[in-house]
A and B are shown apart, each in its own frame.
Chain A
Amino acid sequence: MQSLERALGRERVISTPDELIAYEFDATIERGMPQAVVFPESTEQVAAAVRVAHRAGVPVIPRGAGTGLSGGAVAAAGGVVVALTRMKRVLKIDVVDRVAVVEPGVVNIDLSRAAAPYGLYYAPDPSSQRACTIGGNVAENAGGPHCLAMGTTTNHVLGLELVLADGEVIEVGGHSRDVAGYDLTGAFVGSEGTLAIATKIIVRLSRIPEATRTLLAIFDQIDDASGAVSAIIAAGMVPSALEMMDRNIIRAVEPVLRCGYPLDAEAVLLIEVDGLEEDTVEQAEAIDAICRRHGAREVRLAREAADRELLWAGRKSSISALGRLYPNYYVLDGVVPRTRLPDVLRQVYAVAGRYGLAVANVFHAGDGNLHPNLLFDEREPGVTAKVLDAGAEIMRLCVDAGGSITGEHGVGVEKRDFMAWLFSGDDLYAMSRLKTAFKAGEDFNPCKAFPTHAGCGEVTQAQVRRTAAAIGPDLYV
């Protein structure tokens, strides 16, 4: 610890156990106590911190805002957390090439704010955008409501400056996507902080659309809502966003934010189209008609920017607002083919019901990316195990339906034991070889993404493994 203080200055290191309690968690129920947290302000300082940890043989855990939903920034096996929150400068906005160069700690929405005067914005918009960092977005390949039309983070990252596990600084990619050689940028995006630390990120900016229309469709039956989703997609339309929220989400959000989601509805769809003025008018009308045909009892069009913001505020706060219903949530992040949506959703409610757990569903319906949130109170004895079991079953459901265990939140600690359902030993080996190629050893953000490692023993982890084992290796694909 003293060498960290020598390398960075005392003010940039936290190492008293009492204070480290503030760094024990991210937005999940995972816990892990680091030995130190450092606050570098430059690439050199990041490299210096990493070198000290490397020499001492202690784990390094990169951390952005700690809004991750898979425990990626939790020090699962102790070590040094490298918090990138002080590196929050937008270094450059190139209006002609529509490219921005940012430090990793820039908050997602701040980048769009900085670009707005030039008629530009940063497209990937996770619901956590007013808190999460671009570095964390890159590491998790974050998506968001508008990724339906715009693609996830990986479609918007052009180049990176990385600090490797031994402190070496390299650059990959550049100002455009068409660089020769291996696509190392692509390999890094979504690597969940297990390969290196991004210290500079070059991203593509997009032009703010001329017109945007936002609709709220209200349903008395959840099946009707999922039916409408399928119909909109089947009609060949690509709304810029297509989100669904069920009754429990509405109950959590509406009483406070008063965003106009009716409390007696079973589900609402939030649909947005953008583009040229005339097109959006036409599309909005078509969507309105489809929703009504599928049983929407009402379809509202946001009249002003303020109405639109309010509708979105509800959606973007929905997971956090669950704290009003229960002290803890366990957010699942499954992906299923859109045609299976109604069916899988029914099964999700059934699983939760069987375990006697409340569940709230909010999701990027257009992508088939489900976020069932299991609601519980950690302090109730035995409930956490129940939640993890139910979660595992739901994940299993998604895989069986031909989907995947993460749409955008990453594998992290939470779901690494489910990886074996999707990938063979050889696949996993190939992935871990990538880690070697980046010179990132076992100690670089350990216990994340891969179903291995000793010494990652948190209580909840043991439970996840137990669950995975209980479901049985014969079920692994």
Chain B
Amino acid sequence: MPQTADAHGLREDIARCVHCGFCLQACPTYLQLGKETDSPRGRIALIEAMSSGRAAPGAPPLLGHLDLCLQCRACETACPSGVPFGRIMETARGNVMEGAAAPLAWRLRAAALRQVLPHRRRIAAAMALLRGYQRSPLRRVLRRTGVLGRLPRPLRAAEASLPVLPREPFAAPPQPPGLTRTVAMLRGCVMPHLYPRTHDATVRVLNRLGYRVVFPEQEVCCGALSLHAGDRQQARALARRNIDAFLEAEIEAIVVNSAGCGSTMKEYGALLHDDPAYRERAARFAAMTRDVLEFVVAETLPALGEVPVAVTYQDSCHLVHAQKVTQAPRALLRAIPGIELRELAAPDRCCGSAGLYSLVQPAMSARLLADKMDDVRATGANVVATANPGCMMQLEAGLRQRGIEARVVHVIELLDEAMQAAGGAAP
């Protein structure tokens, strides 16, 4: 790997690892394979070898082990030594990408993301096509004729796992009058198309708590996907645009209901640390960012009506491990009358969604999902709540494949239901 500005930081981050092995049992890929090459400790050793020149940076088996990492950061939670694994992995991928030996697949992926993510219109157009396809007879024909089976694996995985898109994407609703406080909300790239209902619920809840919600027009993708794919340059570019877009508005906080986006946005400060023009504003942006559950739990809740369901909660990795938010969703669920919270055997273990992971590593993703579905079934819950659109999609696909009768929701949707059940309109 070339010596980049991050090389020193990488070395120091790695030096924190005392190779005690405490992280092994937290790592989903190690639990599946039992191999150190696919464990946090082993990956750190491989990254160390690549950065010190002991191992060839582009060596395919090593990149395979980096690729198989979910970047779920469960190892960070488990590590008593505070090894910042997420940052180590992002830096390592970044160094590979910026080096001469960057594999073609990685470069293609980053290039594809560059074509799409900064452009809300392109995403909307793609989603419209997909919506049309899903509702057309074409899908049935393709499925029946087996043409789908001949598609490349990632496409096939995507075809099978995408939920049927709702007819209408999310549109900023009119806000009730008289709200004195203001927050901005990130809409995200795909969420307005996949889960407009979650956005609607989020806005309703925030309105009821007395907040007007604004949606900065110039918002772009948060950059998480680029960052995870090793494209730091692109991630920084996106971050700068969001900082410009959001800090323009008079707001108290930036609320996010996608844990993956939220965790990246909270790290803008670190991402743009070396950019004197943005450093300060990036830090301010990061400090203003709140996951919606974390934000709501700090407020005084109005009376809640009954929602009589048995719920199990899947911790979204980027909420529990990256943002360390574990209690807020549970506290909210417990606050809702009628809800019985039934914990999963391993609620904070990744379900295999992990951003683009389910498309890029369908085999490992499917193994993780299968285990997760066993756990869900064992709880007997009829609602699976989580905190991130990717997790929602993956869990829905799992339930569908297994024929488990349960619906998937974002925690905020249950809170919205409870508020509606209590009656009364928003203030």
Complex CA–CA separation, A35 to B41 (angstroms)? 20
Contact in complex: B45, A25 (CB < 8 Å): yes
Question: Do B16 and A256 touch across chains, with their CB atoms under 8 A apart?
Answer: no
Residues of chain B within 8 A of A22, CB atoms compared: 35-37, 39, 41-43, 45-46, 65
Inter-chain CB contacts under 8 Å: number: 112
Check A320–B81 contact: CB distance below 8 A. Answer: yes
Write out the residue numbers on chain B whose beta carbons fall within 8 Å of the beta carbon of A27.
18-21
Residues on the A chain within 8 Å of B18, using CB: 27, 319-320, 322-323, 327-329
CB distance from B25 to the nearest CB of A (A): 6
Q: Is the CB of A39 within 8 A of B80?
A: no
Flag if A317 contacts B21 (CB, 8 Å): no
| Least Cβ–Cβ distance between A65 and chain B, in angstroms | 5
The reply to whether A256 and B80 contact each other, CB–CB distance below 8 Å, is: yes
Question: Does any Cβ of B come within 8 Å of A131's Cβ?
Answer: yes
Beyond A19-B37, A21-B49, A21-B55, whether A324 also contacts B82 by CB under 8 A is yes
A467 within 8 A of B: no
Q: Which of B17, B21, B36, B43 contacts A323 (CB 8 A)?
A: B17
Nearest-neighbor residue (CB-CB) of A83 within chain B: B34
The contact string, 1 if C-beta is below 8 Å from chain A, for chain B 24-59, is 110000000011110101110110010000111001
Distance in Å from the Cβ of B9 to the closest Cβ of chain A? 14
Bound-state CA distance A257–B81 (Å) is 10
Distance from A297 Cβ to chain B, minimum over Cβ atoms (Å)? 26
Please measure, in the bound complex, the distance between the C-alpha atom of A65 and the C-alpha atom of B31, giving whole angstroms: 12
Residues of B within 8 A of A23 (CB): 36, 42
- Which of these, B35, B39, B43, B55, contacts A18 with CB under 8 Å? B55
Query: Does any Cβ of A come within 8 Å of B79's Cβ?
Result: yes
Known A18-B61, A256-B80; judge A323-B16 contact (CB<8 A). Answer: yes
Complex alpha-carbon distance, A24 and B42, angstroms: 9
Is A253 at the interface (CB under 8 A from chain B)?
yes
Closest Cβ of chain B to A125, distance in Å, is 14
Q: Is the CB of A18 within 8 A of B59?
A: yes
Find out whether the CB atom of B80 lies under 8 angstroms from the CB atom of A18. no
Q: Are A320's CB and B80's CB within 8 A?
A: yes
Q: A39-B34, A322-B81 are in contact. Are A379 and B49 (CB under 8 A)?
A: no
Which residues of chain B from 311 to 365 have any CB-CB distance to chain A below 8 Å in the complex? none
Contact of A377 among B15, B23, B25, B42 (CB under 8 A): B15
A179 to chain B minimum Cβ distance, whole angstroms, is 33
Whether B19 pairs with A25 at a CB distance below 8 angstroms is: yes
Cα distance A38–B45 in the bound complex, in angstroms: 19
**Chain B 55-94 near chain A by CB (<8 Å), digits 1 or 0:** 1100101100100000000000001111100000000000
Q: How far is B34's CA from A244's CA once the two chains are assembled, in angstroms?
A: 34
Shortest beta-carbon distance from A445 to chain B in Å: 18
Contact call A320/B20, Cβ cutoff below 8 A:
yes
- Smallest CB–CB gap between B149 and chain A, Å? 25
Contact partner, A85, options B20, B34, B79, B82, Cβ 8 Å: B34
Q: Is the interface of B mostly helix, strand, loop or mixed?
A: loop
The residues in A between 336 and 371 inclusive whose CB is less than 8 angstroms from any CB of B are none
Residues of chain A within 8 A of B43, CB atoms compared: 22
Task: Indicate with 1 or 0, residue by residue over A51-73, a CB within 8 angstroms of chain B CB atoms.
Answer: 00000000000000111000000
Q: Which parts of B269-309 form the interface with A (CB within 8 Å)?
A: none
How far, in whole Å, are A257 and B82 apart by their CA atoms in the complex? 10
Distance of B41 from chain A, by nearest CB (Å)? 8
Determine the distance from Cα of A320 to Cα of B56 in the docked complex, in whole angstroms.
30
Q: Does B22 contact A (CB under 8 A)?
A: yes
How distant is B79 from chain A, measured CB to nearest CB, in Å?
7
Q: Give the one of B39, B46, B62, B80 with max A CB within 10 A.
A: B80
- Known contacts A128-B20, A253-B80, A257-B80, A105 near B34 by CB under 8 Å: yes
A320 to B61, CA, bound (A): 29
A207: Cβ under 8 A from any B Cβ: no
**Cβ-based interface call for A47 (8 A):** no
Give chain B residues whose Cβ lies under 8 Å from the Cβ of A14. 35, 37
Q: Cβ of B22 and Cβ of A320 under 8 Å apart?
A: yes
The residue on B at minimum CB distance from A64 is: B21
Question: Would A21 and B21 count as touching, CB distance under 8 A?
Answer: no
Within 8 Å of chain B (Cβ to Cβ): is A229?
no
Most B CB within 10 A of own CB, among A23, A65, A253: A65
Q: What CA separation (Å) do A164 and B46 show in the bound complex?
A: 33
Report A354-397 residues with CB < 8 Å from chain B CB.
377, 379
Check: A86 CB closer than 8 A to any chain B CB.
yes
Q: How far is the CA of A197 from the CA of B16 in the complex (A)?
A: 33
Chain A min CB distance to B22 (Å): 5
A residues less than 8 Å from B82 (CB atoms)? 256, 321, 323-324
Contact A39 B35 (CB under 8 A): yes
Shortest beta-carbon distance, B371 to chain A, in Å?
14
Chain A residues closer than 8 Å to B37, beta-carbon distance: 14, 19, 22
Smallest distance from the beta carbon of A136 to chain B beta carbons, Å?
10
Q: B16: which A residues are within 8 A, CB to CB?
A: 323-324, 327
Is the pair B46, A18 in contact by a Cβ cutoff of 8 Å? yes
**A130 interface residue per 8 A CB criterion:** yes
Q: A128-B20, A131-B20, A377-B15 are known contacts. Are A324 and B81 too (CB-CB below 8 A)?
A: yes
The closest CB in chain B to the CB of A88 belongs to: B34
C-alpha gap A329/B81 in the complex (Å)? 12
In whole angstroms, what is the CA distance A26 to B45 when docked?
11
Q: Name the distance in Å between A307's Cβ and chain B's nearest Cβ.
A: 16
In the complex, how many angstroms separate the beta carbon of B16 from the nearest chain A beta carbon?
5
* A1-40 at interface with B (beta carbon < 8 Å): 14, 16, 18-19, 21-27, 37, 39
**B26 vs chain A, min Cβ distance (A):** 9
Most buried by A among B49, B55, B81: B81
Q: How far is the CB of A411 from chain B (nearest CB, A)?
A: 20
Rounded to whole angstroms, the CA-CA distance of A322 and B80 in the bound complex is: 8
> CA–CA, A27 to B20, complex, Å?
5
**CB < 8 Å: which of A26, A257, A317 contacts B22?**
A317
CB-CB under 8 A from A328, the residues of chain B are 18
CA distance A321 to B79 in the complex (A): 8
Contacts of B62 in A (CB 8 A): 18-19
Q: List 9 A-B contacts (CB under 8 A).
A: A22-B35, A27-B20, A85-B34, A256-B82, A322-B18, A323-B17, A323-B81, A327-B15, A327-B18
Binding site for A on B (CB under 8 A): 15-25, 34-37, 39, 41-43, 45-46, 49, 54-56, 59, 61-62, 65, 79-83
List 12 other contacts, CB 8 Å, given A67-B20, A321-B82: A14-B35, A19-B46, A22-B45, A26-B21, A39-B35, A66-B19, A67-B21, A67-B22, A105-B34, A107-B25, A131-B25, A323-B17
Q: What 7 A-B pairs are tightest by C-beta distance, nearest first?
A: A323-B81, A22-B42, A317-B80, A85-B34, A320-B80, A327-B15, A320-B20
